[in-house]
């Protein structure tokens, strides 16, 4: 079954990189996958997003009308993409920056304080990768091992020193309790 993911946030939150890591993980898992960025005359501080489509057959189309999983790292992305979620789909929202409002009843919400968790880990820049841990857990489509291998591939040599911290971030996301009391 083909599934699609949109990762969205402020420019600078590492949205495109997170998408690339996710797409690489799908590739390593032997899936067909396509990564496509939003691009245009973008401004600093504006929203940015990318779509990752993965499945067992050749990927058909990007820019799909509906989305299975959305990761919203900021409020603007949450507001923009909420209506795009498929019935039964999932919104993973960064509750540090997004208000916990559930206006739709035909889909799932996961609110996690992604930025706060990354800050507690010691580096706010890990928020994007931490979010991928939550994606892995919520989607059940990709393993932590493939995401770790993907990180190792995608991080450039001069950033390899950050690999252990990134892996830690992934695990914190993966182990985050999706159903808090």
Partner 1 sequence: MATECITNKKVLTKGNYAIAQAAVLAGCECYFGYPITPQSEIGEFMSGKMQELNRGYVSAESELAAINMVIGACSTGAKAMTSSSSCAVSLMQEGLSYATSDQLPVVLVSVMRGGPGLGNIYPSQGDYFQATKGGGNGDYKLIVLAPSTVQECVDLTYKAFYLAHKYRNPTVLLADGLLGQMMEPVEFKEYPYPEIDNSGWALTGAKGRSGRVIRSYAPLAEDQCVFLEKLYQKYKTIEENETEWEEIGTEDADIILVSFGSTSRNVKTAVKMCREKGIKAGILRPITLYPFPNNRLKELACIAKKFIVVEVNMGQMVNDVRLAVNGKVPVELIHKPVGAPPAPEEILDKIEELI
Segment lying near partner 1 (by CB under 8 A), choices 26-34, 107-115, 120-128, 163-171: 26-34
Q: Contact between 5 and partner 1 (CB under 8 A)?
A: no
Task: Give the span between the Cα atoms of 137 and 141, in whole angstroms.
Answer: 8
Residues 6+ apart with CB under 8 A from 100: 93, 109, 111
**Position among 3, 11, 55, 62 found at the interface with partner 1 (CB under 8 A):** 62
**Position among 15, 33, 92, 132 found at the interface with partner 1 (CB under 8 A):** 33
32: which 2 tokens? 């067909």
Q: Which of 38, 33, 3 is nearest to 21 (CA)?
A: 33
Task: Give the span between the Cα atoms of 139 and 116, in whole angstroms.
Answer: 22
Q: Contact between 39 and partner 1 (CB under 8 A)?
A: yes
> At closest approach, how far in Å is the CB of 107 from partner 1?
19
Segment lying near partner 1 (by CB under 8 A), choices 36-44, 82-90, 102-110, 160-168: 36-44
- Closer CB to partner 1, 19 or 110, in the complex: 19
**Position among 43, 45, 63, 164 found at the interface with partner 1 (CB under 8 A):** 63
- Closer CB to partner 1, 33 or 127, in the complex: 33
Q: Contact between 54 and partner 1 (CB under 8 A)?
A: no
Sign for the pseudo-dihedral over CA of 158, 162, 163, 164: positive
Report the 10 Å Cβ neighbour count for 15. 26
102: which 2 tokens? 């559930």
Q: Contact between 64 and partner 1 (CB under 8 A)?
A: yes
Helix, strand or coil, per DSSP, at residue 83: helix
Q: For residues 34 and 76, is the Cβ–Cβ distance under 8 A?
A: no
Q: Contact between 1 and partner 1 (CB under 8 A)?
A: no
Residue with tokens 């799909």: 64
Segment lying near partner 1 (by CB under 8 A), choices 5-13, 37-45, 130-138, 166-174: 37-45
Site residues for partner 1 per CB under 8 A: 20, 23-24, 27, 32-37, 39-41, 58-65
């Amino acid at each position: 079954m083909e599934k699609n993911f949109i990762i969205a946030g402020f420019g600078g939150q590492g949205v495109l990189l997170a998408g690339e890591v996710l797409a690489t993980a799908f590739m390593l898992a032997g899936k067909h996958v396509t990564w496509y960025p939003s691009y245009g005359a973008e401004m600093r501080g504006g929203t940015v997003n990318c779509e990752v489509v993965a499945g067992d057959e050749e990927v058909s189309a990007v820019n799909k009308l509906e989305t299975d999983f959305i990761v919203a790292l900021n409020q603007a992305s949450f507001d923009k993409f909420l209506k795009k979620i498929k019935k039964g789909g999932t919104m993973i929202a960064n509750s540090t920056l997004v208000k916990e409002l559930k206006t739709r009843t035909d889909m799932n919400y996961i609110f996690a304080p992604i930025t706060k968790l990354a800050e507690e880990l010691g580096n706010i820049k890990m928020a994007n990768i931490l979010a991928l841990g939550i994606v892995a857990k919520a989607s059940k489509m990709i393993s932590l091992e493939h995401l770790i291998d993907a990180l190792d591939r995608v991080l450039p040599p001069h950033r390899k020193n950050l690999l252990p911290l990134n892996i830690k971030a992934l695990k914190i996301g993966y182990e985050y309790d999706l159903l808090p009391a």
